[in-house]
Amino acid sequence: MKLSGKSALVIGGSAGLGRACAEACAAEGASVMIADINQPAAEAALAAISAAGGTASFILTDGTDDAAVSASVNATVAQFGGLDILVNSIGGGRSAGDAGWHQAIDLFLKSSYYACKYAIAEMEKRGGGSVINIASIAGVTGSVATDVMTTGYACAKHGVVGLTRTLALAYAKKNIRVNVICPGYFKTEMTPMIHDKEDGGLSHINDNLRVPMGRWGEPHEIGTVAAFLASDESSFITGQPIVVDGGFMAR
């Protein structure tokens, strides 16, 4: 129970990688606040955490709304007595054209900024904390853009990596660590068009993408990394993009 006595706010924690992070933190003893716009999915996540013996609550939150994000931080502090861990894991966004560009920046970059702004202020009161942003391998390499939305996604994720490193430097002496997980190809609600195939998308993984481990990543494999980064076991790690991709970027 390496997170016993700590509190975590997981923005975008109702499904996919965010839910995996919420479940992993709760399994290690943290009290978890899930902040999300998808209440039905959040209720399912809360039920799973509770069934596993964990502690979790929910606050309806639009992560692209500055005031709503501030309210989620305040709710976490009010319920759990403070804030030690922040996970930013908002997903979604499928608009095309200029609207898609702005949507990607709002969803992935601005939302992370809002959350860090308010959460870090609370962590300073606690004498430290851990921020875990979720970006993508598209945030550490170039992305072949098929449309403006694709370009917006990659640029936003690069921005998240830059935000992470900047905040890590700014708050290192205050014992606030800031890291970013960069997932490769994971089987989530965001990728059904690829993995909902007769072969489970394995031909795409092996023949097109050539992922060295030859399979999709599973959400819990991000959750365990988040729990590690949230714990004191990673006490000298900050400002780092942690790539979790089955060896894809090593080729």
Which residues form the catalytic set? 153
CA–CA separation, 131 and 219 (whole Å): 19
CA–CA separation, 176 and 124 (whole Å): 8
- Sign, CA dihedral 207-208-214-219, equals negative
> Whose structure tokens read 């708050």?
171
Percentage helix, strand, coil for the chain under 3-state DSSP, each rounded to 5: 50, 15, 30
Pairing verdict, β 55-60 and 85-88: unpaired
- Taking each helix axis from N to C end, the angle separating 220-230 and 16-27, rounded to the nearest 10 degrees, works out to 50
